Amino acid sequence: MELAEFFQQVRDPRRPQGQRFSLSALLWMTFLAITSGYTGPQKMAQFGRSNAAFFTAYFGLRHGLPSYGAFRDLLQALDKDALAQAFDR
């Protein structure tokens, strides 16, 4: 399974109201930030700003880039055990 397919299968823990960014886009940005050495929500947001032109164009971000709060909220809400088990498959 490709990573893009995997990200499409992750259950979105966020409430539908106010979702400015797709779960897939946030997961991709999180993955790319971590693999580039940017750990933690503030560093992830910094990574996003450093690559703003690419992320905005590639993911079609109409509301700008995710703030550190968007990354923090997602990381806190994700079911880490389910995510790890899915990666194992």
- Sequence spans of domains, the chain: 22-88
Mean pLDDT (whole number) for 76-86: 84
- 23-75 pLDDT, tens per residue? 999 999 999 999 999 999 999 999 999 999 999 999 999 989 999 999 999 99
Q: Are 10 and 83 in contact (CB under 8 A)?
A: yes
pLDDT beyond 70 at 1: no
> What is the pTM assigned to this prediction?
0.88
Q: Are 11 and 82 in contact (CB under 8 A)?
A: yes
Q: Where are the alpha helices (DSSP H) in 19-51?
A: 23-35, 41-50
